[in-house]
Amino acid sequence: MSKVYPIDLVFTILGKENLETQFYNKSHKSEENQITVDGYSVYTRSLRYMTFYQKGCKCCVCGKEGTHFTLDPSVDNPDRRHFNLRADDGTLMTRDHIIPKSKGGREHISNMQTMCVDCNKAKGNHMDGEEPPKMTIVAIESTNSEKRMEFIDENDAIFYVLNNIMKVTQAPSRNNKMGFKIKKSIEVTRQFMFCLNSGVPYCGRCWYTIGKEPPIVEKESPKQVVSGWGELVGMRNNTFYLDINEEIGFGWVRRVDNNDTVCYLSTHTFYERKASFSTTLLQSYGFNITLKEWK
């Protein structure tokens, strides 16, 4: 259990000269702006600290009030700590951008307000008094129909797929070029829109538009582990099939109804990080397999 620190004591430890400033930048994370508290390094300058000191410790929405600080581990450095303001029930108090950063909001104390973590999550990426955008796209996990996510529109859903499922930005370094990312983004967009409109599962999820009949989610069977090109030969489902050149080691994903090519499988498909990327790609086309990585 984290040690509890009174608010006034923490403000004294951090120093008024650090709490009364108006802005914060990365240069504040330097050796001269850190102290030792109970054997741990703590940065003294933070927009959170400044917000709590200058704007108060009470949530501007629900009125919940921070009553004490805890000294908690830093995510990126286990030897470093930072103070978190909490309410009596343990609720984390946060700083909130009055005008979101995505809408031009500044990293300045004038654009900050104190908000509990629950109200901050509810506010999301919109301004005070602004109605949250209505969700239009729903994703249900194929393995658990109770798990669902909602998205504002197709663009919001595709952005999530690109960054959190397909991980285009984390593709192998040799492919980490703008041209590759654009090509892959177009490919993912086409796949997603086809599956959204046809009801075919995509990336282990069933996608549908709110207002339309949701798809029936069936429990997914265990994935087949595939260790070579020969095991991919002849593989097909109701919508796609694999056209594999086993001798050279490459292939295509094609449509069953018209033989159109929807995806190319390169000679690197099974190698290192590409295997994980290719597994996700093939699963997005409904192939219940996992590719074994070649070293």
Residues 173-189 pLDDT 10s = 444 556 667 777 887 88
209, 240, 271 - which closes a domain? 209
Looking at the fold, whether 233 and 189 belong to one and the same domain comes out as no
Looking at the fold, whether 241 and 264 belong to one and the same domain comes out as yes
CB count, 10 Å around CB of 76?
6
Looking at the fold, whether 236 and 276 belong to one and the same domain comes out as yes
User: What residues have CB less than 8 Å from 229, skipping those under 6 apart?
Assistant: 244, 245, 246, 249, 251, 270
User: For residue 126, what pLDDT is reported?
Assistant: 66
In a domain, residue 131? The reply is no
100, 123, 146 - which closes a domain? 123
User: For residue 84, what pLDDT is reported?
Assistant: 94
Residues 5/83, Cβ–Cβ less than 8 Å:
yes
Strand ranges for 28-161 from DSSP E:
34-37, 40-43, 68-73, 81-86, 93-97, 112-116, 137-141, 144-151
User: For residue 129, what pLDDT is reported?
Assistant: 62
- Whole-angstrom distance, CA of residue 170 vs CA of residue 244: 26
Asked whether the predicted pLDDT for residue 250 surpasses 60, the reply is yes
Asked whether the predicted pLDDT for residue 12 surpasses 90, the reply is yes
In eight-state DSSP terms, residue 50 is H
User: For residue 103, what pLDDT is reported?
Assistant: 77
Total domain count for the chain?
A: 3
Q: What is the mean pLDDT of residues 113-121?
A: 90
User: What residues have CB less than 8 Å from 13, skipping those under 6 apart?
Assistant: 5, 35, 37
Q: 224-257 b/e with 16+ CB inside 10 Å = b?
A: eebeebebbeebeeebbbbbbeeeebbbbbbeee
In a domain, residue 128? The reply is no
Looking at the fold, whether 85 and 192 belong to one and the same domain comes out as no
User: For residue 69, what pLDDT is reported?
Assistant: 96
Of 238, 246, 218, residue with least CA distance to 287: 238
Looking at the fold, whether 28 and 112 belong to one and the same domain comes out as yes
At 174, list the tokens. Answer: 């040799």
Looking at the fold, whether 190 and 104 belong to one and the same domain comes out as no
Domain enclosing residue 251, as ranges:
224-291
Asked whether the predicted pLDDT for residue 51 surpasses 70, the reply is yes
In a domain, residue 217? The reply is no
Looking at the fold, whether 113 and 53 belong to one and the same domain comes out as yes
In a domain, residue 130? The reply is no
Looking at the fold, whether 116 and 151 belong to one and the same domain comes out as no
Looking at the fold, whether 94 and 9 belong to one and the same domain comes out as yes
Tell me what percent of the residues of the chain surpass a pLDDT of 90.
26
Q: What is the mean pLDDT of residues 121-129?
A: 71
Looking at the fold, whether 228 and 202 belong to one and the same domain comes out as no
Q: What is the mean pLDDT of residues 70-79?
A: 81
At 20, list the tokens. Answer: 């009364």
- Whole-angstrom distance, CA of residue 215 vs CA of residue 198: 10
How sure is the predictor about 92, in pLDDT bands with cuts at 50, 70 and 90? very high
In a domain, residue 215? The reply is no
In a domain, residue 202? The reply is yes
Looking at the fold, whether 71 and 156 belong to one and the same domain comes out as no
At 173, list the tokens. Answer: 């370094």
User: For residue 28, what pLDDT is reported?
Assistant: 56
Looking at the fold, whether 87 and 171 belong to one and the same domain comes out as no
96, 123, 150 - which closes a domain? 123
In a domain, residue 146? The reply is yes
CA dist 122 to 34, 96, 114, 134, 153, Å? Answer: 33, 12, 14, 13, 18
pLDDT higher for 115 or 80? Answer: 115
Tell me what percent of the residues of the chain surpass a pLDDT of 70.
81
In a domain, residue 216? The reply is no
